């Protein structure tokens, strides 16, 4: 019979070194999409004067200070200087919301804050203002190691995301893991496959010619395998986002990243 | 869902292949070459081959050069129809299958990736790829 002491010891071991399932990338082998890019795209991200994502960050900074809604309040009226109050915050998102009993993305947190505290009209997903605020807030975490998913209350949702990540879907019958765990560094139609580490969202994608969220990226991957994409803000997309962030544990935030 | 239009033609697996054409007639190798190179068929996303005109080739799967030496027409046909019969973990989709899939997009639901005629064209072309 297994003693409680043995179970406790096993749990401690598991906490010290997270158990990897078959195919999962060990922590010291995790690489940002930045490592898969050419020199030109890297240079564009590295130089704030050439990084097109910085225009959104500047817009977000202006929105942060702007009084809106029937409460006539700006983000800054409650949160003060974002450089200190928002530092490291995005590296913990999606984060568990106690009132809702589920994790929310940074975009959803902004939407909730606008509704509850500013009493302002909701911002649609992928709208310019939402992306700008999200980019500005996440930019305050540039360089901060990702810790999303560490909260014990988030664990069941991390697990839900992992199951979705491992599940084959769509007419092409492929799972995220088939490309991003088993075949990164190889080429799909000539373009390198990355590890899908979401270190720089929202990010400027040259293919999109604009800034976009991780949810947009996930939805386009789902369309790629000819699956019905989950809706923006759906529990499934949030769980996938949470799992991906937890999988990128320890990698530094890069927002706003630039990707091909 | 319109079932009649999407119904698959029956086929018989014998040994490690499907010896008889899905449509009952031979495919057209020239059309098959164009299909392999069209990104919508997905072949070229993962495979490379003797196609000097395109640099958008994948390397997730074996190069198609010499395919006609390695496999018979019967084997090629089954590999396209259902590669998972040879390896359940393969990333190669089953091109002639329309059920048992998860969350298929609305535009694709109930349809195989390739039609029987397209498979025959591609098989005819692959058989010509000899070293």
CATH number of the domain to which A144 belongs: 1.10.760.10
Contacts of A192 in chain B (CB under 8 A): none
Compute CA distances A6 → A1, A10, A19, B16, whole Å. 10, 6, 17, 50
> Interface pTM (ipTM) of the complex?
0.95
pLDDT tens per residue across span B77-120 = 999 999 999 999 999 999 999 999 999 999 999 999 999 999 99
H/E element, A177: helix A176-180
Question: Closest partner residue to A178 among B56, B91, B103, by Cβ?
Answer: B91
Cβ distance A183 to B91 less than 8 Å, yes or no, reads yes
Q: Is B90 in contact with B84 (CB distance < 8 Å)? A: yes
Question: Closest partner residue to B60 among A167, A188, A226, by Cβ?
Answer: A188
Contacts of B92 in chain A (CB under 8 A): none
Q: How many CB pairs under 8 A join A and B?
A: 71
Q: Is A228 in contact with A9 (CB distance < 8 Å)? A: no
Active site residue A221: yes
Residue A154 lies in a domain: yes
Interface of B with A in 7-36 (CB under 8 A): none
Kindly indicate the confidence band of residue B4, based on its pLDDT and cuts at 50, 70 and 90: very low
Residue A53 confidence (pLDDT) above 80: yes
Tokens 């007419």 found at: A171
How far apart are alpha carbons B83 and B64 in whole angstroms? 15
Structure confidence at residue A58 (pLDDT): 98
How far apart are alpha carbons A52 and A32 in whole angstroms? 19
- CA nearest A230 in B: which residue? B103
Span A189-202, mean pLDDT?
97
Does residue A256 have a cis peptide bond before it, meaning omega lies within 30 degrees of 0?
yes
Span A38-56, mean pLDDT?
98
- CA nearest A228 in B: which residue? B105
Residue A254 lies in a domain: yes
Span A48-63, mean pLDDT?
98
Residue A7 confidence (pLDDT) above 90: no
What is the overall mean pLDDT for chain A?
Answer: 93
Span A211-230, mean pLDDT?
98
Question: Closest partner residue to B93 among A173, A183, A189, by Cβ?
Answer: A173
Distance from CA of B68 to the nearest CA of A (A): 23
**How remote is the C-alpha of B28 from its chain's centroid?**
14
Q: Which two tokens stand for residue A177?
A: 């893991």
Q: In chain A, how many domains are there?
A: 1
Out of A2-6, A85-89, A152-156, B26-30, pick the least confident.
Answer: A2-6
Contacts of B58 in chain A (CB under 8 A): 186-190
Length in residues, chain A: 260
Residue A143 lies in a domain: yes
How far apart are alpha carbons A138 and A212 in whole angstroms? 13
Structure confidence at residue A13 (pLDDT): 45
Kindly indicate the confidence band of residue B16, based on its pLDDT and cuts at 50, 70 and 90: very high
Structure confidence at residue A45 (pLDDT): 98
Kindly indicate the confidence band of residue B131, based on its pLDDT and cuts at 50, 70 and 90: confident
Residue A186 lies in a domain: yes
The three-point CA angle A104-A237-B93 to 5° equals 165
pLDDT tens per residue across span A160-174 = 999 999 999 999 999
Q: Higher confidence at residue A12 or residue A208?
A: A208
DSSP-derived 3-state class of residue A81: coil
- What would you report as the CA-atom Rg of chain A, rounded to the nearest whole angstrom? 19
DSSP-derived 3-state class of residue A97: strand
Residue A12 confidence (pLDDT) above 90: no
Structure confidence at residue A16 (pLDDT): 46
Residue B3 confidence (pLDDT) above 50: no
Residue A233 confidence (pLDDT) above 80: yes
Question: Closest partner residue to A170 among B39, B94, B103, by Cβ?
Answer: B103
Pairing of strands A102-104, A95-97: antiparallel
CATH number of B27-127: 1.10.760.10
Cβ distance B57 to A172 less than 8 Å, yes or no, reads no
Range of the domain at A233: 38-259
- What would you report as the CA-atom Rg of chain B, rounded to the nearest whole angstrom? 14
Span B14-25, mean pLDDT?
98
Span B52-67, mean pLDDT?
95
Kindly indicate the confidence band of residue A23, based on its pLDDT and cuts at 50, 70 and 90: confident
The percent of residues in chain B predicted with pLDDT above 90, rounded, is 93
Query: Which residue from B112, B131, B128 is spatially nearest to B22, judged by alpha carbons?
Result: B112
How far apart are alpha carbons A212 and A19 in whole angstroms? 32
Structure confidence at residue B6 (pLDDT): 62
Structure confidence at residue A186 (pLDDT): 97
Structure confidence at residue A9 (pLDDT): 47
The percent of residues in chain B predicted with pLDDT above 70, rounded, is 95
Structure confidence at residue A24 (pLDDT): 86
Structure confidence at residue A127 (pLDDT): 98
Query: Which residue from B125, B118, B119 is spatially nearest to B49, judged by alpha carbons?
Result: B125
């Amino acid at each position: 019979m297994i003693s409680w002491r043995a179970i406790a010891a096993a749990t401690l071991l598991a906490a010290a070194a997270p158990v990897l399932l078959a195919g999962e990338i060990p922590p010291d082998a995790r690489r940002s999409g930045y490592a898969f890019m050419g020199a030109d795209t890297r240079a564009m991200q590295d130089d704030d004067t050439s990084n097109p994502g910085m225009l959104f960050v500047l817009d977000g900074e202006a929105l942060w200070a702007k009084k809106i809604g029937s409460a006539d309040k700006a983000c800054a009226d409650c949160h003060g200087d974002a450089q200190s109050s928002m530092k490291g915050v995005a590296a913990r998102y999606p984060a568990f919301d106690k009132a809702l009993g589920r994790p929310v993305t940074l975009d959803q947190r902004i939407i909730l804050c606008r509704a509850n505290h500013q009493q302002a009209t909701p911002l649609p997903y992928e709208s310019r203002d939402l992306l700008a605020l999200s980019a500005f807030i996440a930019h305050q975490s540039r360089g901060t190691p990702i810790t999303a998913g560490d909260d014990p209350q988030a664990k069941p949702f991390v697990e839900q995301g992992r199951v979705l990540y491992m599940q084959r879907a769509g007419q092409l019958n492929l799972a995220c893991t088939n490309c991003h765990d088993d075949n990164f560094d190889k080429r799909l139609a000539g373009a390198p496959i990355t590890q899908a580490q979401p270190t720089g969202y929202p990010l400027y994608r040259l293919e999109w010619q604009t800034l976009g969220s991780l949810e947009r990226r996930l939805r386009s991957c789902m369309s790629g395998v000819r699956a019905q994409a989950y809706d923006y803000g759906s529990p499934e997309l949030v769980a996938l986002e949470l799992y991906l962030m937890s999988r990128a544990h320890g990698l530094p935030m890069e927002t706003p990243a630039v990707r091909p | 869902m319109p079932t009649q239009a999407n119904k698959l033609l029956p086929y018989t697996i014998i040994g490690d292949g499907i010896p008889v054409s899905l449509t009952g007639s031979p495919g057209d190798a020239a059309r098959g070459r164009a299909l392999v190179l069209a990104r919508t068929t997905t072949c070229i996303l993962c495979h490379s081959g003797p196609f000097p005109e395109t640099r958008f080739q994948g390397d997730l799967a074996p190069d198609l050069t010499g395919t006609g030496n390695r496999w018979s027409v019967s084997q090629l046909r089954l590999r396209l129809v259902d590669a998972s019969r040879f390896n359940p973990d393969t990333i190669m989709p089953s091109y002639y299958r329309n059920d048992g899939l998860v969350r298929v997009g609305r535009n694709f639901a109930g349809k195989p990736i390739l039609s029987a005629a397209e498979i025959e064209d591609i098989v005819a072309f692959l058989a010509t790829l000899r070293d």
